């Protein structure tokens, strides 16, 4: 089983994933095969359902054919079975790698790029995310549940067939904790949602907005770490992605399709990551009695889309902050200009 280990100086968790154990030569292979794993038969295509693993969930059409399928990750970073053990190793802290690690097969079609997604496919994907998050939130061992997508080898995708992942974690990750705390502090001081304040300033200024529809706004964040980063926020204040109704998911599919299409055209099919940040399960822990109390008011779910246009360099890894050669105002300008 994998193990979460805590760095007592940097205060971050890392997952030491023995199930994915690699030897030095494996990394060389990964560097040389730039287009991901090529297998004779794609395990995610129709007809290979038995190769993809036991089905956890599927969305099906009127004929009973699947539109999306959810299966366990073949090389899971976390295992669903077992007790949530927390233990010390000398001065270090560890947690057993309990969690969930699922793969969402987004469509039966093997070939699809971010420029060719349709509203229909994206709505199916987000509906699948919603159903899985609702189910995983029932498990009280989990502290954070996150749907995300890696697109392209440089963004971490190993298989070509369109897919995304859902992970459920036994700890609240550091970045998420910071976001939750910032939102909570802001609300405590001002009785306003920090994300709603950001949306209002973006709307007033206008220069960083990429696209909007009735329910959602997409913009390049003011302090973008990376070029062409895009955030998507629901206009209505709401902390839970998984409480979105079908009409909201249609609006979400529309805006994601449009952002994908513009990134595809503007940056010629860039590798990218997409992450859905919804409020964590409302576990009230004794040490933090009020931690989750205000989350309905202070958190606002959102999606981060991050093209991966260059590697991480020493400056970034040493400081945690980024040198971004494209201002969010010009990135938004380029994306707005796409026909």
Residues carrying an active site annotation: 163
The H or E element that residue 163 is part of is strand 163-169
Strands 92-96 and 272-277: unpaired
Q: How many residues bind a second copy (CB under 8 A)?
A: 98
Shorter beta-carbon distance to a second copy: residue 157 or 249:
157
309 binds a second copy (CB under 8 A): yes
Shorter beta-carbon distance to a second copy: residue 115 or 221:
221
- Residues numbered 243 to 282 that lie near a second copy (CB under 8 A) are 266-268, 270-271, 273-275, 277
Shorter beta-carbon distance to a second copy: residue 23 or 138:
23
- Residues numbered 71 to 90 that lie near a second copy (CB under 8 A) are 77, 89-90
Shortest approach of a second copy to residue 50 CB, angstroms? 26
- Residues numbered 12 to 41 that lie near a second copy (CB under 8 A) are 12-18, 20-24, 27-28, 30-31
Shorter beta-carbon distance to a second copy: residue 46 or 321:
321
Residue 320 vs residues 8, 194, 306: alpha-carbon distances, Å: 17, 23, 16
Backbone angles phi, psi at 278, to 5 degrees: -110, 165
- Residues numbered 183 to 222 that lie near a second copy (CB under 8 A) are 183, 186, 194-195, 197-198, 201, 204-205, 221-222
Shorter beta-carbon distance to a second copy: residue 23 or 111:
23
Residue 91 vs residues 87, 88, 263, 279: alpha-carbon distances, Å: 11, 7, 46, 32
Shortest approach of a second copy to residue 322 CB, angstroms? 5
Region label for 268, one of left (φ > 0), alpha (ψ between -120 and 50) or beta (otherwise): left
Which of 85, 203, 246, 323: binder of a second copy (CB under 8 A)?
Answer: 323
Q: Are 330 and 229 in contact (CB under 8 A)?
A: no
124: three-class secondary structure by DSSP: helix
51 binds a second copy (CB under 8 A): no
161 annotated ligand-binding residue: yes
**Owner of token pair 């189910």:** 135
Which of 46, 120, 284, 325: binder of a second copy (CB under 8 A)?
Answer: 325
Annotate 32-56 with three-state secondary structure: HCCCCCCCCCCCCCCCCHHHHCCCC
Q: What is the DSSP letter of 81?
A: S
- Residues numbered 125 to 184 that lie near a second copy (CB under 8 A) are 144, 146, 148-150, 153-157, 165, 167, 169, 173-176, 178-179, 182-183
Cβ count within 10 A of residue 326 = 17
Which residues fall in the annotated binding site for Zn(2+)?
42, 45, 110, 161
């Amino acid at each position: 089983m994998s193990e979460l280990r805590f760095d007592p100086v940097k205060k971050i968790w890392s997952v030491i994933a023995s199930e994915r154990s690699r030897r030095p030569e494996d990394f060389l292979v990964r560097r040389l095969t730039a287009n991901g794993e090529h297998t004779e038969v794609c395990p995610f295509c129709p007809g290979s359902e038995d190769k993809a693993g036991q089905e956890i969930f599927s969305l099906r059409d009127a004929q009973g054919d699947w539109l999306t399928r959810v299966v366990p990750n073949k090389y899971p970073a976390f295992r669903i079975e077992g007790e949530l053990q927390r233990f010390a190793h000398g001065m270090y802290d560890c947690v057993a790698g309990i969690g969930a690690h699922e793969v969402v097969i987004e469509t039966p079609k093997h070939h699809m790029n971010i420029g060719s997604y349709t509203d229909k496919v994206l709505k199916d994907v987000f509906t699948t995310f919603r159903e899985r998050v609702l189910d995983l939130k029932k498990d009280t061992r989990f502290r954070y549940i996150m749907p995300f997508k890696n697109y392209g080898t440089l963004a971490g995708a190993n298989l070509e067939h369109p897919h995304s992942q859902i992970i459920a974690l036994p700890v609240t990750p550091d970045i998420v904790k910071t976001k939750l705390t910032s939102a909570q502090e802001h609300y405590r001081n001002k009785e306003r949602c920090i994300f709603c304040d950001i949306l209002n300033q973006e709307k007033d200024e206008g220069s960083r907005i990429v696209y909007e529809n009735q329910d959602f706004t997409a913009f390049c964040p003011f302090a973008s770490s990376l070029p062409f980063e895009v955030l998507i926020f629901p206009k209505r204040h709401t902390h839970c992605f998984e409480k979105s109704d079908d009409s909201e998911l249609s609006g979400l599919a529309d805006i994601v399709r449009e952002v994908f299409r513009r990134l595809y055209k503007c940056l010629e099919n860039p590798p990218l990551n997409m992450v859905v940040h919804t409020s964590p399960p409302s576990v009230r822990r004794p040490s933090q009695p009020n931690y989750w109390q205000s989350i309905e008011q202070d958190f606002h779910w959102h999606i981060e889309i991050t093209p991966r246009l260059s590697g991480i360099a020493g400056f970034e890894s040493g400081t945690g902050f980024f040198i971004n050669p494209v201002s969010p105002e010009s990135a938004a300008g380029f994306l707005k200009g796409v026909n």
